[in-house]
Amino acid sequence: MKADFIVENISEMATAAGRSPLTGTHASDLRVIRDALIASHNGRIIYAGPRKAADVEVAHGVRRMDAGARAVIPGFVDSHTHLPFAGDRSNEFLMRMQGRSYQEIAAGGGGIVTTVRATREISEDELFAISQERLDRMLLYGTTTAEAKSGYGLDLESEMKQLRVLRRLAASHPVTVISTCMCAHDFPPEYRSSRDEYISIISDQILPAVRQAGLAEFFDIFVESGVYTRLQGEVLCRRAASLGFLLKVHADELSDTGGASLAAEVGAVSAEHLLFASEEGIKKMAAAGVVATLLPGVPLFLMMDRHAPARTMIESGVAVAVATDLNPGSSYTESMPLIIQLACFRMKMKIEEALVAATLNAAHGLRRAHEIGSLEPGKWMDALILNSRSFIDLVYHFGVNPINTVIKRGRIVVGNGYLKKDRK
């Protein structure tokens, strides 16, 4: 097979390998190859390794990209975002800055439902436009695949509107978008005192309609005190699975509600947050192969001293992924580099572990590890050229955007830190 695209003059290529998540003592198994070359054909990698060993046939008109003696890593996989939302919650943020807690604000009628009201009101085209801007920003910070959730509609039509926006983005934006129906993000204001009724609407109307329209691959639910109980979580997860959804669970974010073990029992692909996960829950996740998607932007933004027990999870054999949780209430950032930095500084992950968690393990959390998450023959050519010679600078040189160039399926979509304007 002849290469139609070659990236050369790579000071070091740092990538995980394989199609399965890296766990335990292998969680930091990053291959670092100096003086590397990567070649692709039709957007798929055909060679990624030492330049000297490269035996690549070159097609007529091959495009050559000089990496300028800088480091190359796989594109980031942001496996947990609440991308399509309207409005902002800066007023609640200011209340939090004065000492009010996230839970107090939610109990007082703010929080998620504030964004629900704004998202219900906005037109589909406007929601598309603001979500597209956020996705552009994600791309500039190196995200080449993103999961995105509904959950700010909380009625059939508004959930479908959010998911249709995601479908349009998936068709038009360079970032690969994978959709999750999170109609169980909270209870809508109109069903706050008749919660069972909304649960029936989810079971009998929203989930079947979303499935029938093919608008989401995953179902996600917020199991937390004051939101969905563990039992409600179990009932809805089983219903969603019976309709063919893969499962994710927002678990043990603000208190231990048994979410980690629930995720294991219902066969979820991943459990998210897990700041308060019990040791027993962690063990069950390891045994069931549930990915722990850790979201260190949340305790930073909520000014909590706590962080998710990443070290215990890695030692217990749980596959750890990291993601932004981009949303207006608990983690307003599009930046995966920031999340990698927090993983190291706050959760004491090694830089290698954090990079694996943001690429291959995150890809597994979206059931995509066979095609993305590492730089290897057969996978998509989704790669980042950094501004520096070494991947260590991802964390060492913190608080700046480390991404120079983003390559998506063999096309340069960000160059010298700027978006290329032509869209897919």
Site of interaction with Fe ion (CB under 5 A) = 325
Query: Quick one: which H or E segment has residue 163?
Result: helix 156-172
Q: Give the one residue of 74, 111, 299, 410 binding ligand NIG; rule: CB under 6 A.
A: 111
* 174 vs 365, beta carbon nearer Fe ion: 365
Partner interacting with residue 176 (select from ligand NIG, Fe ion, none; CB below 5-8 Å by kind): none
**Inter-helix orientation angle 156-172/124-140, to 10°:** 50
Kindly state the smallest distance separating residue 13's Cβ from ligand NIG, in Å.
Answer: 33
Region class of 364: left (phi > 0), else alpha (psi between -120 and 50), else beta: alpha
Q: Cβ contacts of residue 400 below 8 Å, gap of 6+?
A: none
Shortest CA distance to 315 belongs to which of 292, 345, 296?
Answer: 292
Q: Cβ contacts of residue 123 below 8 Å, gap of 6+?
A: none
Angle at the Cα of 91 (from 189 to 87), degrees rounded to 5?
A: 60
DSSP per-residue string spanning 226-262: TSB-HHHHHHHHHHHHHTT-EEEEEESSSS--SHHHH
Q: Give the one residue of 144, 232, 330, 404 binding ligand NIG; rule: CB under 6 A.
A: 330
Partner interacting with residue 147 (select from Fe ion, ligand NIG, none; CB below 5-8 Å by kind): none
Kindly state the smallest distance separating residue 51's Cβ from Fe ion, in Å.
Answer: 41
Partner interacting with residue 413 (select from ligand NIG, Fe ion, none; CB below 5-8 Å by kind): none
Kindly state the smallest distance separating residue 243's Cβ from ligand NIG, in Å.
Answer: 22
Q: Are 228 and 239 in contact (CB under 8 A)?
A: no
Partner interacting with residue 259 (select from ligand NIG, Fe ion, none; CB below 5-8 Å by kind): none
Sole residue written with tokens 């390998």: 17
How many C-alpha atoms does 10 have within 13 Å on its Cβ side? 30
| Window 46-65: residues binding ligand NIG (CB under 6 A) | none
Q: Give the one residue of 72, 177, 286, 298 binding ligand NIG; rule: CB under 6 A.
A: 298
Kindly state the smallest distance separating residue 298's Cβ from Fe ion, in Å.
Answer: 8
112 near ligand NIG, judged by CB under 6 A: yes
| Window 184-243: residues binding ligand NIG (CB under 6 A) | 222
Shortest CA distance to 145 belongs to which of 420, 413, 396, 390?
Answer: 413
Partner interacting with residue 112 (select from ligand NIG, Fe ion, none; CB below 5-8 Å by kind): ligand NIG
Binding residues for ligand NIG, total number by CB under 6 A? 13
Kindly state the smallest distance separating residue 70's Cβ from ligand NIG, in Å.
Answer: 34
50 burial via Cβ count (<10 Å: 0-12, 13-18, 19+)? middle
Report the distance separating Cα 354 and Cα 271, nearest Å: 17
325 near ligand NIG, judged by CB under 6 A: yes
* 31 vs 195, beta carbon nearer ligand NIG: 195
* 5 vs 222, beta carbon nearer ligand NIG: 222
* 295 vs 313, beta carbon nearer Fe ion: 295
Q: For residue 256, how many other CB atoms are within 10 A of its CB?
A: 17
94 burial via Cβ count (<10 Å: 0-12, 13-18, 19+)? exposed
Partner interacting with residue 404 (select from ligand NIG, Fe ion, none; CB below 5-8 Å by kind): none
Kindly state the smallest distance separating residue 367's Cβ from ligand NIG, in Å.
Answer: 20
Stretch that binds ligand NIG, among 62-70, 326-334, 404-412, 414-422 (CB under 6 A): 326-334
Q: Give the one residue of 134, 161, 250, 368 binding ligand NIG; rule: CB under 6 A.
A: 250
Nearest residue (beta carbon) to ligand NIG: 329
Kindly state the smallest distance separating residue 262's Cβ from Fe ion, in Å.
Answer: 16
List, edge to edge, every strand of the sheet that includes 403-408: 44-50, 31-41, 2-15, 57-74, 383-386, 403-408, 411-415, 418-419
Q: Are 325 and 308 in contact (CB under 8 A)?
A: no
Kindly state the smallest distance separating residue 252's Cβ from Fe ion, in Å.
Answer: 13
The binding site for ligand NIG (CB under 6 A) comprises 82, 111-112, 115, 222, 250, 253, 298, 325, 327-330
